Amino acid sequence: MEPRRRVTDVELMTALAHPLRGAVLRHLMAVGPRTASECADAVGSTASNCSWHLRQLAKFGLVEPTDGPDGRQRPWRATVVGLEFGALADDPTMRTAQLAVLGGGLREDQVFTQRFLDRAEELPDEWRNAPSTCTR
């Protein structure tokens, strides 16, 4: 698997600025290979929409199809473990795309944080106590 990939191409940054693409890629990086249907369930979309966005991510080499357990399923896997965006660019097009990508990631983090807070009482102790081990 490729290490963290530094994004310097405005076309790729603009592609990542699409909220669904970013969410699907982050999902695959977090949980491993999944089908378009599984991605759709995780990000709140449809399988056909996720399939299209997975193909767009594949054009940039960020995801690739992988073998399924039964030959019928068509899972995808992330080919990177993370992305680096660097400092905000001087170019206005790149800077706008960078801000859109960062904003999408922050919105998703807020959703996950709220889910944790809403369900903290239902979680096993190891997960419930995880925030106390985080450093700032």
pLDDT-based confidence at residue 134 (cuts at 50, 70, 90): low
Domain CATH number, residue 74: 1.10.10.10
Mean pLDDT, residues 85-94 taken together: 92
pLDDT in tens, 21-66: 999 999 999 999 999 999 999 999 999 999 999 999 999 999 999 9
Q: What's the domain range around 31?
A: 5-123
As to burial, measured by CB atoms within 10 angstroms (0-12 exposed, 13-18 middle, 19+ buried), residue 21 is: buried
Taking alpha carbons only, the member of 107, 123, 98, 131 closest to residue 43 is 107
Residue 2 has what pLDDT? 61
Domain assignment present for 136: no
* Predicted model pTM: 0.80
Domain assignment present for 129: no
pLDDT-based confidence at residue 130 (cuts at 50, 70, 90): confident
Domain assignment present for 25: yes
pLDDT-based confidence at residue 107 (cuts at 50, 70, 90): confident
Domain assignment present for 23: yes
Mean pLDDT, residues 89-118 taken together: 88
pLDDT-based confidence at residue 132 (cuts at 50, 70, 90): low
Total domains in the chain come to 1
| Whole-number Cα distances in Å, 74 to 35, 56, 64 | 6, 16, 10
Domain assignment present for 96: yes
Domain assignment present for 97: yes
User: Angle of helix 19-31 relative to helix 92-119, nearest 10 degrees?
Assistant: 60
Domain assignment present for 44: yes
Domain assignment present for 134: no
pLDDT-based confidence at residue 76 (cuts at 50, 70, 90): very high
